[in-house]
Amino acid sequence: MTTATKCTLARIVMIPLFMILMLSGYPVWALAVFILASLTDLVDGYIARHYNQKSDLGIFLDPLADKLLVLSAMLIFIQQGRMPAWAVMIVLAREFAVSGLRMVAAAKGSVIAAGWSGKVKTAATMVGLCVMIVIAHPISDFCITAVIVATTICSGVEYFWKNGNVLLA
């Protein structure tokens, strides 16, 4: 097992710890774990690319770990009444749709790289969730949710605008 994959597995292991801390009323500690888990995504990507440690397991686990981390926070916010379920459904629908598009492309021998809007969506989501972890206020919760939904929709539209032809061929 590669070092990059071990970093990804560490991120997955941190998710229950993050959730326990959040649900037990320790948001500052939860934020620390969330940030550390988020940073492992940067580290495993760097290691995989720069030390040629790409593996099928890592390719499978990395996006799964990312989605599980984000969804764990969003589900807690739904439970707390701070984020509407419809907003999380938009995030989930985009993730499933883009993953499906990538699978179709892969089956046809091509790779769909992350687009600029996908990187903006990820950054906006991660920063927004970090703020929500430590600041519980209806106005900031609404604004952050709006930014997450808007960047999610824009990113999904960009992926299909640029790569939707994969589905027609």
Supply the mean pLDDT for the chain.
95
What pLDDT is stored for residue 113 in this prediction?
84
Residues 62-89 have pLDDT tens digits of: 999 999 999 999 999 999 999 999 999 9
To which residue do tokens 């299909």 refer? 160
Higher pLDDT, 45 or 130: 130
- The string of DSSP codes covering 17-51 is HHHHHHHTT-HHHHHHHHHHHHHHHHHHHHHHHHT
pTM of the model: 0.93
Where in the chain are the domains?
1-63, 81-169
